Amino acid sequence: MKSAKVLSLILLALAVTPSARAAYSYEPARLGRKLVFPADHGAHRRAAYEWWYWTGHSFLPDGSARYGFQLTLFRISPVAGPKLANSQSRASSLIAHLAISDLVAKRHFHRAFGVQEGAAWKTSDSRLEFEVPGFQISQEGAFGPLRIQARWEVDGKPFRIEGTLQNSKPWVLHGQDGFSRKGHCETCASHYVSATRLEGKLVLQAGAEATAPLRTEAWFDHEFGSNALSKAQAGWDWFAIQLASGWELMLFQLRKLDGSQDFMSGTWVDPKGRTGSLSQDSFELLSKGNWKSPESGARYPERFEVRLKSPPQGLPSSLEVVPRFPEQEVYGGDAGLATYWEGSCEVRAGGQPAGQAYLEMTGYDPSRRPRF
């Protein structure tokens, strides 16, 4: 597919505001909808958008983090009238993002492209499986092994992530049985499920020789919906925190156009897989310092402090989330996509290393904000 046609498809898919998509009869997230697996790991054609997200770290034998990585597939429903929008036969736009953060060289390798779904570019409606040339992921059943194969080139150099991961904890349904509110309006929500501790071995390559299979801990998110952001929201900060003690935290805050906090939510997962919700008044996210991107000009927080007001026993009440290096921005200017920061972070408690995290920050580039 010609690059100009790819770009026009992406711009068409992402230029539609949530209110315009509502006019096309896409279904918003609904409180009380029961998620059933493996079917709800697949694509949801009646939703305006969805994404499958993997982030994680691969470790050297001495236990130090060697690489961070991100694998993402966005599915954007077609822009069409009500009848066509509800048709199962309409092709979606697929946008793939792959990134590797070399934590020793402090370099960030990234590749993104978009296509229209078709015979060679497809997602399953009944299970977790999709296939894009050079990028395939599939899972057996609702809880089986996850197989990943990504082989591309970035700036003419090999880019590779391959291996198998396995859930070590039950699926986590955020919010109310997977109904995750993103704001104060009735339809500001998504359906949101995670695997907060995937474990296995991956082979990674970013320009240099491929590694031997490295022990890996990863995080998986799947969200779908039709109107998550309100017009007054500029973007969000999202945290996937994996502590060495076996705890995990998912936290997010949505920001208003003036930069102030608008809505917050979270989930904790204990070492045995038990979960609990965190309401807006049960934690704080305090940003510190700033870093200006030389590419987009956006200014991002340099680090965050997480304060939990009444954490369960065994979970620290204060954590610091510190990017391992600042240059982990995904700049969307060349591809007509939103610009955001997504990168590997160290987690500290009491000033000591306590785990790993992935942090996503969107909406800091006002010219390329997310439209979901």
Those residues with Cβ within 8 angstroms of residue 132's Cβ, 6 or more apart along the chain or in another chain: 73, 94, 96, 115, 121
Return the CATH number at 126. Answer: 2.40.370.10
Q: Does residue 137 fall inside a structural domain?
A: yes
Which of 77-86, 119-128, 211-220 is modeled with the greatest confidence?
211-220
Residue 285 has pLDDT above 60, yes or no: yes
Instruction: Report the share of the chain in percent with pLDDT over 90.
Output: 65
Domain that holds residue 348: 3-362
Average pLDDT, the chain: 87
Q: Does residue 370 fall inside a structural domain?
A: no
Q: Does residue 91 fall inside a structural domain?
A: yes
Top pLDDT among 261 and 112 is at 261
pLDDT tens for 53-64 read 999 999 999 999
What pLDDT, on the 0 to 100 scale, is given for residue 119?
66
Q: Does residue 204 fall inside a structural domain?
A: yes
Nearest Cα to Cα of residue 169 among 202, 136, 198 = 198
Q: Does residue 170 fall inside a structural domain?
A: yes
Band of residue 111 on the pLDDT scale cut at 50, 70, 90: confident
- Residues 293-311 have a mean pLDDT of 95
What pLDDT, on the 0 to 100 scale, is given for residue 209?
83
Q: Does residue 294 fall inside a structural domain?
A: yes
SS3 content of the chain, % helix, strand, coil (to 5): 5, 50, 40
Contact 78, 84 (CB under 8 A): yes
Q: Does residue 368 fall inside a structural domain?
A: no
Band of residue 310 on the pLDDT scale cut at 50, 70, 90: very high
The domain total for the chain is 1
pLDDT tens for 313-354 read 999 999 999 999 999 998 765 545 678 999 999 999 999 999
Span between the terminal Cα atoms of the chain, in Å: 26
Top pLDDT among 257 and 239 is at 239
Q: Does residue 166 fall inside a structural domain?
A: yes
